Amino acid sequence: ILNVEQSPQSLHVQEGDSTNFTCSFPSSNFYALHWYRWETAKSPEALFVMTLNGDEKKKGRISATLNTKEGYSYLYIKGSQPEDSATYLCAFRGSGYSTLTFGKGTMLLVSP
Amino acid sequence: EADIYQTPRYLVIGTGKKITLECSQTMGHDKMYWYQQDPGMELHLIHYSYGVNSTEKGDLSSESTVSRIRTEHFPLTLESARPSHTSQYLCASSATGGNQPQHFGDGTRLSIL
């Protein structure tokens, strides 16, 4: 069973704060790393699919970096807004596997 | 707006009943997945399909079964529901290709009394 860890488990910040979360995954046999945002009462929504070591992706105020050699990815949110409140999931796909293994997620709450 | 639909959103039902959770997608995706999630836990893959007449078991053992007779439809069935089946069930689909994101439905919250 592949081990995908996310930290912190939860985070409470004030509007305007910048924040970041970590996703750790096996450093061998890497194929892809996915990030999803899951708002309460909605369905998970894809943010990024990252494949190359050193990859950086950006979508508005959200960006992500990838280090496949050491097995981690960071998700950054610049100037958090209340609408950013959600659970952020990462999912790892290993080489030779056709499916994703998800972490437990980081629950972000942004207060006005 | 959703292109993948799950019904029902919520289901409370007694032990021993046969249940079918519906999942349909309009994107023409070949790959479809069922995940189970308990509170505070990660999504666990229980079934997946690569196309019509293809079904595979996921990482988490499940007493449920699935079928894929049509590309757009991937229902999950529990022949005899038990309280241990109480959970949230999420359906997803993705296009063919190595690094396609998954598109999720809104999920079904199942409670077995």
C-alpha pair distances (Å), A24 with each of A8, A65, A71, A90: 11, 12, 6, 9
The chain B residues in contact with chain A (CB within 8 A) are 2, 4, 33, 35, 40-45, 48, 50, 58-59, 90, 92, 98-107
Q: In a mutagenesis test of the A interface, which of B31, B34, B104, B109 is the best target, namely the one with the most A β-carbons within 10 Å?
A: B104
Instruction: Please give, rounded to a whole number of angstroms, the shortest distance from the CA of A8 to a CA of chain B.
Output: 13
> Chain B partners of A41 at a C-beta cutoff of 8 Å?
106
CA distance A107 to A33: 19
Q: Give residue-wise pLDDT tens across range B51-83.
A: 999 999 998 888 899 999 999 999 999 999 999
Answer whether A13 touches B (CB < 8 Å).
no
Mean pLDDT calculated for residue range A42-59:
95
CA distance B60 to A46: 23
pLDDT mean across residues, chain A: 95
Asked whether the predicted pLDDT for residue A1 surpasses 70, the reply is no
- What confidence tier does A109 reach under pLDDT thresholds 50, 70, 90? very high
> Chain A partners of B93 at a C-beta cutoff of 8 Å?
none
**Which H or E run contains A104?**
none
> Chain B partners of A103 at a C-beta cutoff of 8 Å?
42
Asked whether the predicted pLDDT for residue B91 surpasses 70, the reply is yes
